[in-house]
Structures are given as structure tokens and as C-alpha cells.
Amino acid sequence: MKKSAIFFAIAAFIVACGGTSEDKTANNTVTASADAPDGEKLYKTYCVTCHGLYGDMQGNGAIDLTKSALTLDERVKVISEGRAGTVMVGFKTLLDEAKIKALAEHVEKLRK
């Protein structure tokens, strides 16, 4: 439990200190990028510690994502709200809906 709390504190710090995605236009002015969230990058930031790079690590009692039968909507709900009876917490306070959906879509790619 203590390791999970430390992980989430570090993850929150990384998110808080992260910069914005920016592009330079032809006249060298900076504009914010409107690209879709990168589910793989989000997974590596928030999930790899317990689920592992390939989704099958099962650290801290994490579910083996390679064997998950959850639908996209069910994955979005678990990522948003967490999973009762486990150490997985919800990420709806850290990630917006688009990022949670991108993360859920990436998790689908881990299924074997």
C-alpha cells in the first residue's frame, strides 16, 4: 500500500510538472497541438508499474490485461473509478475523459 501511495504521488508530480505539447508555425510562433492523447504513453506513465510493459506483470495483485474480457466501456469505467477490492485507484481526478478513453483503447491492444 505504501508503494502504491508513493507511485501515485510521483505520478501526480510528473503530471503537474509536465509541459504542454507545442508546435511552431511557419513564422516561428508557438501553438498548442490538438493531437489526440497517446494511450501508450499514458499507459507507460500510469499503469506499467503494476501491470507491466505487456500487461501481464500482475504487480500488487493487478489483473492480467492480456486475458481481460472487459469491453471498452467497462475498461473506461475501471480506469475512471478504480477496482473495488484491489489497490487500483480511479484516475478520473488525474486524467480527462479523452485520455482515459485513449488509455482504455491502448489496453485493448495488450489482449492476446
Query: What is the number of structural domains in the chain?
Result: 1
Segment 89-111 shows an average pLDDT of 97
Lowest mean pLDDT among 14-18, 87-91, 103-107, 108-112: 14-18
User: DSSP code of 19?
Assistant: -
Residue 90: HSE in the Cβ half-sphere, 13 Å Cα cutoff: 12
- pLDDT, one tens digit per residue, over 14-33 is 555 554 444 444 554 444 45
What is the SS3 assignment for 41-92? HHHHHHCHHHHCCCCCCCHHHCCCHHHCCCCHHHHHHHHHHECCCCCCECCC
DSSP state of 94: T
Instruction: Give the model's pLDDT for residue 24.
Output: 45
pLDDT tens sequence across 46-97: 999 999 999 999 999 999 999 999 999 999 999 999 999 899 999 999 999 9
pLDDT of 26:
52
**Structural domain boundaries enclosing 87:** 2-110
Residue 31 sits in a domain whose CATH number is: 1.10.760.10
- Give the pLDDT score at 2: 59
**pLDDT value of position 112:** 86
Q: What is d(CA 39, CA 43) in angstroms, rounded to the nearest whole number? A: 6
